Chains A and B, each alone.
Chain A
Amino acid sequence: MIVQFLCRAILLGVPILYGSTGEIITEKSGHLNLGIPGIMYVGAISGVVGSFLYENACGNDIEKMNAALAILIPLLSSIVGAVLMGLIYSFLTVTLHANQNVTGLALTTLGIGLGNFLGASLISITKSELPSIALTKTSSFFSVKAPFADKLGPVGELLFSHDFLTYLAIAIALVASYVLNRTRVGLNLRAVGENPATADAAGIRVSKYKYVATCIGSAIAGLGGLQYVMAYASGVWSNNAFGDRGWLAIALVIFALWKPSIAILGSFLFGALCNANNYIQGLGAETQELFKMLPYVVTIIVLIITSMRKKREYQAPESLGLPYFREER
């Protein structure tokens, strides 16, 4: 029971982890990307379109499908879709100095619309009775488990029973943490986010860093959408099912104090909180609805506590949200 609960928490937490790792990298360059929910949507639907086309090309026959292609095609299309969204965002905010909040929110509108439109179009192509599209074959490739997971009992199930995108998420978060804190590139990126004018004077190419950070961040966030569809929902896309996970990812950035390594544990905690209502005994359906607000309440509490303590290393990058124009000092 407890193992099942924890596994479920991890599964639910991973899309949020992808989203917030991506957002942390973006925010370190000084850009508050509120388009992340839309970007995750686009990442998810691009992956769905990619695997849909591949499944159809193979005549919907799992025997003909190549495992490597079945994974690579959705993975790449998801990344491409998300990076395109990231490029729109960075072109508008970096090159055109547009307002970041407004751009991000418009991008979210666009992304969710795109996801629902393409999703609905695919559903009408398949002429399925249900308002969803099932890619269970592709999903089966994504959710291959380590063969020795079952033999090791509960510990094995907890540590080794997940799909590879889950491990990838943790790996990406750890690598991001290392790059941000231990390498020159990370140091430069943080400098850009803290004070772009100083970074510029030191010879760092500010715009390039901002572009690259935003696009890499978007690509990672897009994978979160893909993980949600392929692993959590076992390959079933239905419109609006992704819900508000994108906003939770942005909340997790603050919860994790802009540190990807803390985000790993934070995302599992969020997953557990999202799921707690199903595991507490004797809750009526109406009280379950109240329990679903737990992750948001916890985020608010963390938000308040961090703002009260005012420790410098717990704060957002100094110039987060401010546009940088070289000739204006």
Chain B
Amino acid sequence: MKDKAVAKKKHEPLFHVVKRDDLAWWQVWLIRGFTIVLGVLLVIFFSMMITGKSFDKTFDIMFRGVFGRLMKGSTTMLWKYLQEIAILLSLALALTPAFKMKFWNCGAEGQALMGGLASIMCMIELGDRLSYPVLICVIAITSILAGAIWGLIPAIFKALFGTNETLFTLMMNYIATQIIAYYVYIKGGGSNVINPVEAGNFPKVGNNDYFVNIVVVAAITLIMYIYLRSSKQGYEISVVGESQNTARYIGINVKKVIIRTMVISGALCGVTGMLLVAGKDHSINVNSVGGQGFTAILISWLGQFNPFIMAIMTAIVVFLRIGVAKVADTALLNSSFSEIMVGLVILMLVGCEFFVRYSIKFKRKKEAKA
């Protein structure tokens, strides 16, 4: 008897996992907010461990690394911070309609690079032939087209044959990278660098280089919110994402939606490329996007397809990226430390979704005895 009881006890799990009913939105955000705070504290803790500095000091370096001497009225760093947010956010926004359709566009990097390539080609080849307003228009049109085409190619094959889009778009990144390497080699005379081009730069507003970029991305954020939420196309995207069969049943042309959405996604990536080249670097190289296409995927997912939440998530991620890099820098450590920390916080956020969707029920003592 005793043996049997022991054996039975062994098979009874200590707890089991139950799917939750929908939580109220504030409960969900309480979980996520708590995770973010915990994540940031952990990041500061790890930074303290490797640098050996106090909590205050570490946070101070992080804060000043991101915002500069804001208290003393200097806004240079703040604008740079906003600029970094703008680039990452615009990539994440570009990916969002595709993700909502369950189309894993891992090719933001390549699409943005192609957009940037179109910009720099216009700036170099047409810079002294066209008047400034015409040049800017040509840059915008060609960049958007280049990004859209780079997004269109995998979309066509996905729509016609169901080709795996994750890997297709991933491979397109590296093809774009090699094309950039080729172009940079020709124009840079074998030096892997193109000197900053004067023509076709976005105008400064006041004394600010990045104002145009930030305004453009803010506008895209708003438009994307409305597009996904209130337009017919946004509705079609969400139906196709939920179930392609349902979409077909209610008369949505799934192939058309896939292709159209990816053209939009690619075109917006092309816009990012233009912002990077014409609005920020005035040059291009294979690392211009610098792997942000992947971070953008994570942001888009963390933001739950809501552009405003994505903006907040971007702000946090960029804060950690710049801030931790600064902490590592001041301690003469490699700034890749910030990548580890960003990865850590994102993994924590990914993990915390479990507690949003499931709850753990512990076996009560009484039940176990009975």
Q: What distance in Å separates the Cβ of B36 from its nearest Cβ neighbour in chain A? A: 15
Once A102-B298, A112-B339 are accepted as A-B contacts, the answer to whether A120 and B163 lie under 8 Å apart by CB is no
Q: Which residue of A lies closest to B157 (CB)?
A: A304
Enumerate chain B residues within 8 angstroms of A101, measured Cβ to Cβ: 104, 166, 297
* B104 CB contacts on chain A under 8 angstroms: 101
CB distance from B339 to the nearest CB of A (A): 3
Q: Are B350 and A102 in contact (CB under 8 A)?
A: yes
* Interface hit among B79-87, B253-261, B330-338: B330-338
In B171-200, the 8 Å CB interface with A consists of 171-172, 174-175, 178-179, 181-182, 185-186, 190
Residues of B within 8 Å of A325, CB to CB, are 17, 19, 358
Residues of A within 8 A of B343 (CB): 106-107, 109-111, 113
Name the segment of A51-59, A75-83, A91-99, A180-188 touching the other chain: A91-99
> B342 at interface (Cβ–Cβ under 8 A)?
yes
Q: A297 — which chain B residues lie within 8 A by C-beta?
A: 171, 175
Q: Mark A277-299, 1 if CB is under 8 A from B, else 0.
A: 00000000111011011001101
Q: Give Cα distance in the complex from A251 to B172, angstroms.
A: 12
| Chain A residues whose CB sits within 8 angstroms of the CB of B291 once the complex forms | 109
Give the distance in Å from the alpha carbon of A231 to the alpha carbon of B340 in the complex: 27
- A-side contacts of B179, CB under 8 Å: 290, 293
Q: With a CB–CB cut-off of 8 A, which chain A residues contact B346?
A: 102, 106, 109
Whole-angstrom CA separation of A108 from B298 in the bound complex: 12
Instruction: Assess A113 versus B336: contact at CB under 8 Å? Given A99-B301, A107-B347.
Output: yes
User: Is the CB–CB distance between A289 and B297 below 8 Å?
Assistant: no
Per the bound structure, the CA–CA distance linking A105 and B292 in Å amounts to 11
| Cα separation A275 to B33 with both chains bound (whole Å) | 49
Closest A residue to B343 using CB positions = A110
Residues of B within 8 A of A (CB): 17-19, 104, 106, 157, 161-164, 166-168, 170-172, 174-175, 178-179, 181-182, 185-186, 190, 291, 294-295, 297-298, 301, 332-334, 336-344, 346-347, 350-351, 353-354, 357-358
A: residues with CB less than 8 A from B are: 32, 34, 88, 92, 96-99, 101-103, 105-117, 119-121, 124, 239, 244, 247, 250-251, 254, 285-287, 289-290, 292-293, 296-297, 299-300, 303-304, 307-308, 310, 316, 325, 327-328
